[in-house]
Amino acid sequence: MKEIKKPKEAISFELSGSTGFFKKPDVNVNTYFTYNNIHKIALLGLLGAIIGLEGHTQQNRENTKFPEFYEKLHKLKVAIEPKTENGYFIKKIQAFNNSVGYASKEEGGNLIVREQWLENPCWHIYILDDDSIDKNEFTKLKDYILNNKCVFIPYLGKNDHPAVLKERALIKVNPVENVKQIDTLFKANEVEIGNIPYDLDETTPYLFKEYSPYRLNEEYNFYEFEKLYFTNLEILDDKNLKDIYSYEHGGNKKILAFI
């Protein structure tokens, strides 16, 4: 039996940039590749930067189990809605020189770096207020996001890619039963999907899949992954879904999966 949920508040904002780069750790020869979507750990890092939480440098200096942003925010429930056709962002390879003395042992000390960058990435982000983190931290996060404040400059993966936050709002979301559609990224193992779109006016079905960093390993801080979907296909079985809410604005209804 599913837990009976009540309406809740959520922080809502659009997150975008001219470019973005969320480095995949499993490829480091010739070209560095990016994840298609901002993943949960990168999003928590961005939120931590906004309210002044420390990162990996502090962790190495103080020999803590996790970076401060992850320690304080990892239980936060977020929903990520890609704002692009079929959930897929255009990517281009960028080549540039790194000529600092320690960059390369090649002749001349010049390292040619090739990175795959996202072009004009944009997501709508929702952060659920469900007491999953310390109330003071959530209140500070709400204040800084809604009032356009930050301690450290937020960026999309690395500091070459500054982030822009727009359409900031505090919204009401309502619990959903009998889910037939999901308009954000969601865990693949929590649902069974059909083979036709939930909106019969749509003629082209799509299903975007990505193994995305979801948590940090306690011992080594390696990424641990979840398979995420973004699709317009009908949801046939939602018995394993958790933290599903709806949001209505301007006559449009969104179904949000908080992960």
Count Cβ neighbours within 10 Å for each residue of 36-50 and write b for 16 or more, e otherwise.
bbbbbbbbbbbbbbb
Give the pLDDT confidence score for residue 250 in this predicted structure. Answer: 77
User: pLDDT averaged over consecutive 10-residue blocks of the chain (259 residues)?
Assistant: 76 98 84 96 98 81 83 97 95 82 60 91 98 96 97 95 97 93 96 91 90 93 95 92 90 93
pLDDT for position 180: 93
Whether domain 8-257 has CATH 3.30.70.2660: yes
Strand partners of residue 171: 10
Sorted by where each begins, the domain ranges of the chain are: 8-257
What is the rounded CA–CA span in Å between residue 36 and residue 23?
10
> 239-254: per-residue pLDDT in tens?
888 899 999 987 889 9
* The pLDDT value given to residue 240: 86
